[in-house]
Amino acid sequence: MRKCEFIDWLRHGHTGKQGAVLGDSTIAARAANCETVDRYEGDLDQHAANGGIVDLLMRLTYSTDDQERGLPPRHRVPIDGDLRTGSATLKSAIKLYKQFCMEWPPGAPRPDFPETPRLPVTGKPKSKAPSAAWPTWSQPSDSEVLALARVVMPYVRFLSPEIVAAIVQDNESHRQEWSAAFAGLGIRPEAYLWTRSPCAFPGVRRYAGGREVAIYRGHLKDEAARLEQALCLDDNDCPKHVWSFTLRGKHFQKKGPIGYSLAHLADHKSHGNRSDLDFEVVDGLNRTELFGLYSCPTNAVFIPNAMIKPTDFAGPMRNLLLRRAQALYGEHCEIVPEWLKVRPAQSDDWQLDAFTWADTVGDANGVAAFLDYRNKLLSGLLDRLRQ
Instruction: Give 55's Cβ-side CA count (13 Å radius).
Output: 16
Q: With a cut of 60, say whether residue 116 has pLDDT above it.
A: no
Q: With a cut of 90, say whether residue 386 has pLDDT above it.
A: no
Q: With a cut of 60, say whether residue 365 has pLDDT above it.
A: yes
Which is higher by pLDDT, 107 or 352?
A: 352
- Count of beta carbons in the 10 Å neighbourhood of residue 359: 7
Cα separation, 150 vs 372, in Å, equals 39
Which is higher by pLDDT, 17 or 88?
A: 88
SS3 of 187, please? coil
pLDDT of res. 127: 58
Which is it for strands 232-234 and 204-206: parallel, antiparallel or unpaired?
A: parallel
Instruction: Give 199's Cβ-side CA count (13 Å radius).
Output: 30
Mean pLDDT, range 368-385, rounded to an integer: 95
Q: With a cut of 90, say whether residue 154 has pLDDT above it.
A: yes
Q: With a cut of 80, say whether residue 114 has pLDDT above it.
A: no
Phi-psi map region of 259: left, alpha, beta (phi>0 left; psi -120 to 50 alpha): left
The string of pLDDT tens digits covering residues 187-216 is 999 999 999 999 999 999 999 888 888 888
pLDDT of res. 19: 52
Give the model's confidence band at 314: pLDDT under 50 very low, under 70 low, under 90 confident, else very high.
low
Contact 278, 319 (CB under 8 A): yes
pLDDT of res. 171: 98
Q: With a cut of 60, say whether residue 291 has pLDDT above it.
A: yes
Q: With a cut of 70, say whether residue 134 has pLDDT above it.
A: yes
The string of pLDDT tens digits covering residues 28-48 is 889 999 999 988 888 898 888
The string of pLDDT tens digits covering residues 249-282 is 999 998 999 999 999 999 999 887 888 888 999 9
Contact 322, 342 (CB under 8 A): yes
Domain locations in the chain as residue ranges: 3-103, 142-386
Cα separation, 105 vs 108, in Å, equals 6
SS3 of 206, please? strand
Q: With a cut of 90, say whether residue 66 has pLDDT above it.
A: no
For 361, phi then psi, to 5°, come to: -125, 165
pLDDT of res. 201: 98
pLDDT of res. 78: 87
Cα separation, 220 vs 189, in Å, equals 26
Q: Which residues contact 133 (CB under 8 A, 6 or more apart)?
A: none
DSSP summary character for residue 189: G
* pTM exceeds 0.85 for this model: no
Cα separation, 235 vs 257, in Å, equals 18
pLDDT of res. 264: 95
- Mean pLDDT check: name the lowest of 94-103, 162-171, 342-351: 94-103
pLDDT of res. 52: 78
Which is higher by pLDDT, 208 or 313?
A: 208
Per-residue buried b or exposed e for 165-183, using 16+ beta carbons within 10 Å of the residue's own CB: bbbbebbeebbeebbebbe
pLDDT of res. 123: 52
pLDDT of res. 187: 96
Q: With a cut of 70, say whether residue 122 has pLDDT above it.
A: no
Cα separation, 93 vs 158, in Å, equals 47
Pinpoint the alpha helices (H) of the chain.
3-12, 24-41, 44-49, 52-59, 64-69, 83-103, 142-152, 161-184, 209-216, 238-248, 275-278, 316-329, 367-386
